[in-house]
Amino acid sequence: MHSLPDSMHAIAITEPGSPEVLKLTQRPLPHAKEDEVLIKVYAAGINRPDMMQRAGLYPPPPGVTDIPGLEVSGVIISVGDRVNDWQIGDSVCALVAGGGYAEYVTAPGSQCLPIPRGLTFREAASIPETYFTVWSNVFDRAQLAEKESILVHGGSSGIGTTAIQLCRAFGRKIFVTAGSDEKCRTCETIGASKAINYRSEDFSERIMALTDNKGVDVIIDMVAGDYTQPNLKCLADDGRIVIIAFLGGVKTNINMTDILRRRLTITGSTLRPRSTEFKANIALSLRNKVWPLLESKAIEPLIFRSFPLGHAADAHRLMESSQHIGKITLDVCDH
């Protein structure tokens, strides 16, 4: 194995604040623990939790680096003693609890996946966070069943475009909301049954009209706040809302009557603090059920734009503008 450097380029959050606080810096090289691998990062994905961490609202779990970044792709250059599934030189993508905006990162071996055949490193880096999140919340937590329907808010986001393609591939009917007619058209092009422009239509009324007043069985909500009551209004009996973020705020007033009368469930989850074992089980499901779809091109990552590592602030500005459709990534090391 070639000798490793002592330090690496990484993006630091110099203080809580706007994108300008993201600065390229030098950090010591991380070292893989016995159940981890060390990855030379070729590309990294940008996600909403990165914005929250930068603003000081989402600190990394105890023991996790303060370097942001939750998903990467690259090549394994060091393997811990208890890792049996991977070898030096393997190309992988990985879900990490932090550290992705850097030239090197450690990841539990069980949270790595082979890069699907035919995908670039850039495309592979855009997969883990959104695919782990969607699989965990749509199919595991919400238990979206055959012949059930789902509404996903933020249809043009990384989470949204992933949910659309996965639900379409597994034969589920999916509705989404998005903030422009162009975004709505893109969502329908990649498989949404109907995309609703929330700026010009009342999404709950539209959903009821589209479902013959039955409502949808599952809602994946990254808004919360004032969306909660309209969500309940357009949920079918025995329906489930899974809250995965709260872009609209953490507090709201809701009418409890419908929850009791129609047996509704409001739940939520966040992936980052969950155990390695929990994430390993999702990785296994993805490898068995989703990787064949990626390799056959039945579903494809949708990347809007990529930036060099040193331009992470520009990537965050673009995400905060909400002008993107799909994923934003960073190009880290040449390969």
Rg, the chain, Cα only: 20
Please name which of 183, 186, 254 lies closest in space to residue 225, comparing C-alpha atoms: 254
What's the pLDDT score for residue 3?
Answer: 80
pLDDT at 204: 97
> In this predicted structure, what is the pLDDT of residue 73?
98
Q: Where, residue-wise, is CATH 3.40.50.720 in the chain? A: 131-268
- The CATH 3.90.180.10 portion of the chain extends over 7-127+273-331
CATH number given to 131-268: 3.40.50.720
Residues in the chain: 335
The CATH class of the 7-127+273-331 domain is alpha beta
Question: What is the C-alpha separation between 208 and 198, in angstroms, rounded?
Answer: 14
Contact 306, 97 (CB under 8 A): no
pLDDT at 2: 59
Model confidence pLDDT, tens digit, residues 230-281: 999 999 999 999 999 988 888 999 889 989 999 999 999 989 889 999 999 9
3-state secondary structure of 225: helix
Fill in the amino acid letter for 312.
A
Predicted confidence at residue 334, as pLDDT, reads: 81
pLDDT of residue 175: 98
Spans in the chain with pLDDT lower than 50: 1
Please answer whether residues 86 and 106 qualify as being in contact, where contact means their C-beta atoms are separated by less than 8 angstroms: no
* pLDDT 10s digits, 119-156: 999 999 999 999 999 999 999 999 999 999 999 999 99
Mean pLDDT of the chain: 95
